Amino acid sequence: MAGFKHIQAADAAKMMQKMHVTWVDIRDANSFQQGHILGAQRLDNTNVNAFLAQVDYQNPVIVCCYHGHSSQGAAAFLAEQGFDTVYSLDGGYEVWKLACPHLCESGL
C-alpha cells in the first residue's frame, strides 16, 4: 500500500505541538469511548463521507487503530482521496497510550 507514511508515537506527539493534525481513529465505538488520542475523530463506514466533505485536506492526517495494522489500509484509502500527507501510527493506540498518556482522553 502506497501513498502514506509510517509515524512513531513520539514523532506524532512532536508534530501535534507544531501544527494542526487531524487524528482519525478507526477502532470500534466502545474502545474509542474508553480512551483515544486527544482530539481524535472516530471514523467508520457510516461517517467517512461526511468526514471527507468537511475536513481540510492540507492538514496532515494520522490514522490510529489498535496495533498499527488496520490503520495502514485506512491511511492508503485516505491518501487515495487526495490528502496531502497521511500517516499510519505505528503500534496504534496500544503504543500511544503508553508513550503519551498525557495526550489521551476518554468519552465521545
Q: Which of 98, 95, 104, 82 is nearest to 7 (CA)?
A: 95
Asked if residue 76 lies in contact with residue 69, where contact means CB atoms within 8 angstroms, the answer is no
DSSP letters along 43-92, please? --TTTHHHHHHHS-TTS-EEEE-SSSSHHHHHHHHHHHTT-S-EEEETTH
65 is catalytic: yes
- Tell me which of 64, 65, 100, 104 is the catalytic residue: 65
Q: Which of 73, 45, 75 is nearest to 62 (CA)?
A: 75
Lookup result for grid cell 507544531: 18
- Catalytic residue numbers? 65
